[in-house]
Amino acid sequence: MSWIFSEQWLWILVFALAAILVFPLLIVWIVLSLPDYMKIVATVLIVIGWGVASGYKDWLVAKRREDERNRTPEA
């Protein structure tokens, strides 16, 4: 059973899951420690950034679907 601790994929998975849990909590902690006016600015920037990332992802998915539709030969 100790061989599993020497596997690289396990440690990549452990660190990735830890980062997924820790980084959002760290961001919330930092935002809550800001002064009141900066909390509002940070929250607005997070929401805007989230919207930009979501729009970019939707654009990439639509572009991929369009490319796949254009690549397939029609019968």
Residue 27's pLDDT is 93
Residue 74's pLDDT is 62
- List the chain pLDDT tens, one digit each, 75 residues: 777 778 888 889 999 999 999 999 999 999 999 999 999 999 999 999 999 999 999 999 999 999 988 887 665
Residue 25's pLDDT is 95
In DSSP notation, 21-46 reads HHHHHHHHHHHHTS-HHHHHHHHHHH
Residue 6's pLDDT is 83
How is residue 47 written in tokens?
Answer: 């929401």
Q: Which of 56, 53, 35, 55 is nearest to 45 (CA)?
A: 53
Which residues have C-beta within 8 Å of that of residue 39, sequence separation ≥ 6?
Answer: 31, 32
φ and ψ of 73, to 5 deg: -70, 140
